[in-house]
Chain A
Amino acid sequence: MKKTVLSLSIAAALLSVTAQAATTVTIGTVNNGDMIIMQRLSKQFEKQHPDIKLDWVVLEENVLRQRLTTDIATKSGQFDVATIGAYEVPIWAKQGWLKPFENLSADYDVDDILQSVRNGLSYEGKLYALPFYSESSMLFYRTDLFKKAGIEMPTQPTWDQVKGWAGKLSDKDAGVYGICLRGKPGWGENVAFLSTMVHSYGGQWFDMKWQPTLDSPEWKAAVTDYVNLLNQYGPPGAASNGFNENLSLFASGKCAMWIDATVAAGLLFNPDKSQVADKVGFAQAPIGKTEKGSHWIWSWALAIPNSSDAQDAATQFITWATSKSYVELVGQQVGWTSVPPGTRRSTYENAKYTEAAPFAQPVLQAIESADPTHPTLNPSPYTGIQYVGIPEFQAIGTQVGQTIAAALAGQMSVDQALKGAQSSVSRTMRQAGYGK
């Protein structure tokens, strides 16, 4: 009896030693395809670092954002690695919630990361998150339908051209809609798209005094075109279509054109996931008055909360998951089209990638030419193209998204919608203490 007790306590002691030796890193991440691949390949990281155990919390985007924000803002320390977007990084860095990345090894080659991506993840000159993948927006079109209609797609179409083509290519009896666009309300859904359209039409969210300008003629022109395009040539139910709904519409051959995130390229090009894999073309997002702000830039990046108690292990993991060798690993194990796009120049210099992915060049061009620090034709006080880099934007975007969706659904006119949006944005800004 005594013996058992003794051996048990020895075993317990041994267990506690190993438990102390292995640091657990809790990773909160989005359930997008690239992160799922990361989760799968992370077994290799654990093999290389036997003293680090990874614990994955994979959630849909909105739930994750809500979860991470409460945790980090209350300094609860549940997460050691947080997957956050380009919108959050500077805001959270400003609050002192994130640990900056400094003294990265030469091997990591931080200069290889695209400049525009790094800018988006920095605050006061310091990098607060390392990019896992980045995306811009572009125009997807059906090469077969364009050929049949005898239209040549330029590398950079204009909105006037797009409007004309949408009418020509729309064939509702055959179940083909001229254009698919985001209509589902939300700051990351219809507002993201519409914001690029407004910026390119020469409009902006705020003037230099932080007064909202949603009642300007530019907004009116952009929103009118958007509503007309979708109502005349768009699919039914456009007001509830987000990225995913449009992806499934385009992938099942229902859309002639679609303007959305560049990550869709890899999905549409994959014959397992798309019925139009062999007839999808890529062009830059259309422009109106100006090229500025005509397409967005977004990064999903990995950051370390200051409240984490495993910061060293977390740094090791993040520098592994965003490294050149990780890109190589995905290329070999999963396939080159699945490589996380838009972060490293070396990826785009790799012949294996550019050969496998014909969309590599247009994507790179879109990402490099997007400049969130100068999103508007006329001077504006904010950064961000499809968002405004202030904490209040989530609320503003949600309200505006709702009103635009109401105009799209025909519940109110564009004029009424913009007037309503203008006053609700003014209210929120007043409440937040702007212009006081």
Chain B
Amino acid sequence: MTTLANQQMTAKPAKNTREIDTRPLLWPSVIVLFLWMIVPLAMTLYFSVIRYNLLNPMLTGFAGLENYTFLFEDPALWTSLWNTLVLVGSVLIITVVFGTLFAVLYNAEFHGRGVARLLVIAPFFVMPTVSALVWKNMLMHPVNGLFAWLQSLVGMEPTDWFTNYPMLSVIVIVSWQWVPFAFLILLTAIQSLDQEQKEAARIDGAGPVDMFFHIVLPHLNRAISVVIMIETIFLLTIFAEIYVTTSGGPGTATTNLAWLIYSVGLLQFDVGYASAGGVIAVVLANIVAIFLVRTVSRNLQQG
């Protein structure tokens, strides 16, 4: 993957031309991360080609590609790949759009700015299991939930969120948690926007919309790239929200790859099979990463 990534990006000319030895600065991180990557990866690759079920020690031996064959025969695999992409894509769009708008809004002067900002960031502090439980049972529940009650106040039939719109519901919950993250990063970035430049544009008669598209957005480019990269990593393995709300269902409507691996790995304790799933997940994640690199990395290298 690394080599491919290298081909996608050409390093821009060095910012600093002084020749210095950066190895002592860089290597400690590189070495520990390398160990952290290679040991589990090697183990996963090894387990993916043997028969290893924790609950059934009788089952042993070299399995060859058996685990992979079973995985590819599983109709849920393709659904789960699709669901993973839908979930990641929608949440990315929602969080970047709202994160940017919020960052602009909360960067403006207003009364009680500090407190309001903290309130918006707060959802990110809540543990995923807890926020999923709160949304599922206190807000979205079609009988006991607050939304159902609000709907009944205006004479509407309560919506049965997790049955009729399972994926949408999961997306809403996950977005609620991750918009604050995008907001936090983008707010920090927007503060480094040159005030003078803004003033100059204003005097030139640029309206707020023009200013947003021509000055703010280009400035946030790199920060948005970072948000997308980091969120993608986390969203690819979204698990707790699905576990609490829909258990991947109904059917396979909300089964993503992480849930699929969990259900074979920790419900069935089939380590071999789960490892094969793990390898697939790594490959998928790298494909996504390379795709992202094409679109995003140019921004990162600017400036």
Contact = CB atoms under 8 A, between A and B. Distances in A.
A186 B247 contact: yes
Contacts of B109: none
B249 A69 contact: no
Contacts of A412: 251
Given A73-B269, A240-B162, A391-B55, A185 B249 contact: yes
A235 B163 CA distance: 12
A408 interface: yes
A409 interface: yes
B143 A236 contact: yes
Interface string A253-273: 010000000000000000000
B152 to A, nearest CB: 9
Interface stretch (B38-46, B90-98, B259-267): B259-267
A237 B162 contact: yes
A240 B245 contact: yes
Given A185-B247, A402-B252, A433 B267 contact: no
A240 B136 contact: yes
Nearest to A238: B163
Given A185-B247, A427-B73, A239 B55 contact: no
Interface in A224-243: 235-240
B53 interface: yes
A240 B163 CA distance: 7
Nearest to A242: B247
A216 interface: no
B295 interface: no
Interface in B142-161: 142-144, 158, 160-161
A41 interface: no
A321 interface: no
A392 B54 CA distance: 11
B6 interface: no
Contact of A66 (B161, B164, B253, B266): B266
B222 interface: no
B241 interface: no
A431 interface: yes
Nearest to A249: B143
B142 A236 contact: yes
B57 A235 contact: no
Contacts of B73: 427
A69 B251 contact: no
B158 A236 contact: yes
Interface in A168-199: 175, 184-187
Given A236-B142, A236-B158, A409 B248 contact: no
A244 to B, nearest CB: 9
B251 A403 contact: yes
Given A70-B54, A395-B263, A235 B142 contact: yes
B250 A185 contact: yes
Contacts of B56: 391, 432
Contacts of A95: 55, 57
A392 B268 contact: yes
Contact of A240 (B70, B246, B251, B267): B246
B55 A91 contact: yes
Contacts of A395: 263-264, 267-268, 270
Contact of B247 (A69, A184, A252, A408): A184
A277 interface: no
B54 A239 contact: no
A239 to B, nearest CB: 5
B71 to A, nearest CB: 10
B54 A237 contact: no
A239 B248 contact: no
A394 B74 contact: no
A174 B55 CA distance: 49
Given A395-B264, A398-B263, A237 B250 contact: no
A402 B143 contact: no
A236 B160 contact: yes
Contacts of A406: 249-253
Contacts of B249: 185, 239, 401-402, 405-406, 409
B137 interface: yes
Nearest to B143: A235
A405 B251 contact: yes
B137 A245 contact: yes
B20 interface: no
A409 B264 contact: no
B265 to A, nearest CB: 10
B80 to A, nearest CB: 12
A237 B142 contact: yes
Given A69-B55, A391-B55, A409 B250 contact: yes
Nearest to A394: B267
Contacts of B266: 66
Contacts of A392: 268
B146 to A, nearest CB: 14
A406 B160 CA distance: 14
Nearest to B262: A66
Contact of B253 (A69, A74, A394, A411): A411
A237 B252 contact: no
Interface in B68-117: 70, 73-74
A270 B298 CA distance: 64
Nearest to B152: A175
Contacts of B245: 240
B163 A239 contact: yes
Interface string A388-422: 00011011001001110110110110000000000
Interface of B: 53-57, 59, 70, 73-74, 136-137, 141-144, 158, 160-164, 166, 245-253, 255, 263-264, 266-270, 273
Given A401-B247, A406-B252, 10 more contacts: A69-B269, A91-B55, A184-B247, A185-B249, A237-B141, A239-B250, A402-B248, A409-B251, A427-B74, A432-B53
28 contacts: A66-B266, A69-B54, A73-B54, A73-B269, A91-B55, A95-B55, A185-B247, A185-B249, A187-B267, A235-B142, A237-B141, A237-B142, A237-B160, A239-B163, A239-B250, A240-B136, A240-B163, A245-B137, A245-B141, A252-B144, A391-B53, A391-B56, A395-B264, A398-B267, A406-B252, A409-B253, A411-B250, A432-B59
**Leading 3 A-B pairs by shortest Cβ distance:** A406-B251, A395-B268, A391-B55
